[in-house]
């Protein structure tokens, strides 16, 4: 019910509505890909190699005659899976470490924050490249690596929220009745600190999709024949002068998806901001 109310509030914001209009059809296509895709994303058709967009192949075909529309639709499954799972991992790590750091302070806080500083010294994308170079390229490795290298911002955000909440009256009352520290942190303080995390997580999904696409474009991400927007673009770079559709449609899918998540993130930020909430939800 809370999720439904959040969606209704999001629909009332201009930016949130635009984001939902962009992303809901993509979610539908990803979920019902076997029904939406007009052809198999794997089956080659040697009679239609590099065929331009037509009624039979609305996004054209690639150098093996495979339908680009079907590959883009199935590629959306990969992108959404990578986005949600990797951000879920990073949010879980960031929330736990940030909550513990902010609540206990002192040595624990210094230890966690120095770890955050150390991780942030390395450019995230190059750190991912270095880790992936030692692992077998696969969608699961990509999701885990992206998640393990993007939790620092969430940890800092949660820590700041916990620091401002742990001196509130409801926390003091929970301590007075003898609740355990674990229950105080994760049942009383943390639920009140999650609003900004939702905003950051939404932006993070778009960033994770861009990272996966870049890794797949470089050939160390999702491996063919599994369709991914990044590896479709990799195949397109050698034929860009004669097959413009191979780069246009997957590139447009990446652009619209990232824009959609950013718009929803802006809408959520307006919803959770008390100063903007009234003006945007009229």
CATH code where residue 206 lies: 1.10.3720.10
Residue 194's domain spans which residues? Answer: 76-280
Torsion of CA 133, 138, 142, 144, to 10 degrees: -110
Number of domains in the chain: 1
Considering Cα of 190, then 193, then 199, then 201, what sign does the dihedral take?
negative
Whether residue 13 is contained in a domain is answered as: no
Whether residue 275 is contained in a domain is answered as: yes
- Confirm if 64 and 53 have CB atoms less than 8 A apart: no
Whether residue 24 is contained in a domain is answered as: no
- Confirm if 232 and 252 have CB atoms less than 8 A apart: no
Report the distance separating Cα 141 and Cα 127, nearest Å.
14
Whether residue 2 is contained in a domain is answered as: no
Whether residue 33 is contained in a domain is answered as: no
pLDDT tens for the chain, 282 residues: list them.
466 777 788 888 889 899 999 999 999 999 999 999 888 898 888 888 888 898 888 998 988 889 999 999 999 998 889 989 999 999 999 999 999 999 998 899 999 999 999 888 877 778 777 777 777 777 888 888 889 888 999 999 999 999 988 888 888 888 888 888 888 888 888 888 888 899 999 999 999 999 888 888 888 878 888 888 988 888 888 788 888 899 999 999 999 999 999 999 999 888 887 655 555 445
Bond into 258 cis (ω within 30):
no
Whether residue 70 is contained in a domain is answered as: no
pLDDT at 254: 93
pLDDT at 1: 45
Residues 6+ apart with CB under 8 A from 125: 211, 214
pLDDT at 2: 67
Torsion of CA 61, 65, 69, 71, to 10 degrees: -130
Q: What are the two backbone dihedrals, phi and then psi, of residue 240, each rounded to the nearest 5 degrees?
A: -65, -30
Report the distance separating Cα 128 and Cα 122, nearest Å.
10
pLDDT at 12: 87
* The token pair that represents 158 in the structure block: 């949660």
Report the distance separating Cα 223 and Cα 161, nearest Å.
40
Whether residue 52 is contained in a domain is answered as: no
Whether residue 58 is contained in a domain is answered as: no
Torsion of CA 255, 77, 201, 194, to 10 degrees: 140
pLDDT at 9: 83
For the chain, how far is it from start to end, CA to CA, in angstroms? 21
Output b/e per residue, 66-89; b: 16+ Cβ within 10 A.
bbbbbbbbbbbbbbbbbbebbbbb
* The token pair that represents 67 in the structure block: 């339908």
């Amino acid at each position: 019910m809370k999720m439904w109310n959040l969606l209704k509030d999001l629909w009332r914001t201009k930016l949130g509505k635009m984001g939902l209009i962009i992303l809901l059809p993509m979610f539908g296509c990803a979920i019902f890909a076997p029904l939406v895709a007009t052809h198999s994303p794997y089956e080659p058709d040697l009679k239609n190699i590099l065929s331009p967009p037509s009624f039979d192949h609305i996004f054209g075909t690639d150098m093996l005659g495979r339908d680009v529309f079907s590959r883009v639709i199935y590629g959306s499954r990969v992108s959404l899976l990578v986005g949600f799972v990797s951000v879920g991992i990073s949010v879980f790590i960031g929330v736990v470490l940030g909550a513990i750091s902010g609540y206990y302070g002192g040595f624990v806080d210094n230890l966690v924050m120095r770890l955050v500083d150390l991780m942030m010294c390395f450019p995230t994308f190059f750190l991912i490249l270095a880790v992936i170079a030692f692992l077998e390229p696969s969608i699961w490795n990509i999701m885990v690596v992206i998640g393990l290298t993007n939790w620092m911002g969430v940890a800092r955000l949660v820590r700041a929220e916990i620091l401002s909440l742990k001196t509130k009256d409801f926390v003091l009352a929970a301590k007075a009745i003898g609740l355990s520290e674990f229950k105080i942190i994760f049942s009383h303080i943390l639920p009140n600190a999650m609003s900004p995390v939702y905003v950051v997580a939404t932006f993070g999904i778009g960033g994770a999709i861009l990272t996966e696409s870049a890794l797949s474009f470089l050939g160390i991400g999702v491996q063919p024949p599994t369709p991914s927007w990044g590896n479709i673009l990799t195949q397109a770079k050698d034929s860009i002068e004669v097959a413009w559709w191979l780069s246009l449609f997957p590139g447009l899918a990446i652009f619209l998806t990232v824009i959609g998540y950013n718009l929803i993130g802006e809408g959520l930020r307006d919803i959770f901001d008390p100063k903007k909430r009234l003006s945007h939800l009229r």
